[in-house]
Amino acid sequence: MLEDSKIRAFLALVSEGSFTRAARKLGVTQPAVSAQIASLEKTVGQALFLRGAELRLTPAGETFLGYAQRIQKAYDLANQAFDL
Protein backbone atom coordinates (compact mmCIF):
# COMPACT_ATOMS: atom_id res chain seq x y z
CA MET A 1 0.00 0.00 0.00
CA LEU A 2 1.25 3.44 -0.92
CA GLU A 3 0.93 5.95 1.92
CA ASP A 4 2.65 8.70 3.82
CA SER A 5 2.45 8.28 7.58
CA LYS A 6 2.90 12.00 8.24
CA ILE A 7 -0.03 12.89 5.98
CA ARG A 8 -2.16 10.16 7.55
CA ALA A 9 -1.28 11.41 11.05
CA PHE A 10 -2.05 15.01 10.07
CA LEU A 11 -5.44 14.11 8.58
CA ALA A 12 -6.32 11.87 11.53
CA LEU A 13 -5.43 14.64 13.96
CA VAL A 14 -7.58 17.11 12.05
CA SER A 15 -10.55 14.75 11.95
CA GLU A 16 -10.26 13.47 15.52
CA GLY A 17 -9.27 16.70 17.25
CA SER A 18 -6.85 15.09 19.70
CA PHE A 19 -3.57 13.23 19.62
CA THR A 20 -4.99 10.36 21.67
CA ARG A 21 -8.02 9.84 19.43
CA ALA A 22 -5.90 10.18 16.28
CA ALA A 23 -3.52 7.53 17.63
CA ARG A 24 -6.42 5.21 18.40
CA LYS A 25 -7.82 5.72 14.90
CA LEU A 26 -4.45 4.91 13.33
CA GLY A 27 -3.68 2.01 15.66
CA VAL A 28 -0.47 3.60 16.93
CA THR A 29 0.66 5.26 20.15
CA GLN A 30 0.03 8.90 20.99
CA PRO A 31 3.80 9.60 21.06
CA ALA A 32 4.05 8.18 17.52
CA VAL A 33 1.43 10.66 16.29
CA SER A 34 3.17 13.50 18.15
CA ALA A 35 6.48 12.55 16.53
CA GLN A 36 4.93 12.41 13.05
CA ILE A 37 3.36 15.85 13.49
CA ALA A 38 6.57 17.33 14.93
CA SER A 39 8.51 15.95 11.97
CA LEU A 40 5.96 17.31 9.51
CA GLU A 41 6.03 20.75 11.15
CA LYS A 42 9.83 20.72 11.03
CA THR A 43 9.73 19.79 7.34
CA VAL A 44 7.32 22.59 6.40
CA GLY A 45 9.04 25.02 8.77
CA GLN A 46 5.83 26.16 10.44
CA ALA A 47 3.48 25.13 13.20
CA LEU A 48 0.38 23.49 11.74
CA PHE A 49 -1.61 23.27 14.98
CA LEU A 50 -2.33 25.57 17.91
CA ARG A 51 -2.15 23.43 21.01
CA GLY A 52 -4.17 24.50 24.00
CA ALA A 53 -7.48 23.65 25.60
CA GLU A 54 -8.67 23.00 22.06
CA LEU A 55 -6.51 21.76 19.17
CA ARG A 56 -6.89 24.06 16.15
CA LEU A 57 -5.19 24.51 12.81
CA THR A 58 -2.93 27.51 12.32
CA PRO A 59 -3.33 29.49 9.08
CA ALA A 60 -0.46 27.40 7.67
CA GLY A 61 -2.27 24.26 8.84
CA GLU A 62 -5.44 25.37 7.04
CA THR A 63 -3.46 25.82 3.85
CA PHE A 64 -1.65 22.51 4.29
CA LEU A 65 -4.95 20.69 4.85
CA GLY A 66 -5.97 21.17 1.22
CA TYR A 67 -2.66 19.78 -0.01
CA ALA A 68 -2.81 16.86 2.43
CA GLN A 69 -6.29 15.91 1.27
CA ARG A 70 -5.20 15.95 -2.38
CA ILE A 71 -2.07 13.93 -1.59
CA GLN A 72 -4.12 11.33 0.28
CA LYS A 73 -6.62 11.17 -2.59
CA ALA A 74 -3.76 10.53 -5.04
CA TYR A 75 -2.47 7.69 -2.84
CA ASP A 76 -5.98 6.23 -2.62
CA LEU A 77 -6.40 6.36 -6.41
CA ALA A 78 -3.00 4.75 -7.02
CA ASN A 79 -3.76 2.02 -4.49
CA GLN A 80 -7.05 1.30 -6.26
CA ALA A 81 -5.48 1.34 -9.71
CA PHE A 82 -2.82 -1.18 -8.72
CA ASP A 83 -4.92 -3.23 -6.27
CA LEU A 84 -2.56 -2.38 -3.43
Where residue 31 sits, what CATH number does that domain have? 1.10.10.10
Rounded CA-CA distance 51/76 in Å is 29
8 φ/ψ angles, rounded to the nearest 5 degrees = -60, -45
Residue 74 structural domain: 5-81
Task: Report how many domains make up the chain.
Answer: 1
Candidate from 1-5, 27-31, 48-52, 63-67 with smallest mean pLDDT: 1-5
Q: Is the pLDDT of residue 18 over 90?
A: yes
Q: What's the pLDDT at 84? A: 85
Rounded CA-CA distance 11/8 in Å is 5
Q: What's the pLDDT at 4? A: 94
Residue 47 DSSP code: -
Residue 83 DSSP code: T
| Per-residue pLDDT reduced to its tens digit, 29-55 | 999 999 999 999 999 999 999 998 899
Residue 17 DSSP code: S
Count of beta carbons in the 10 Å neighbourhood of residue 29? 13
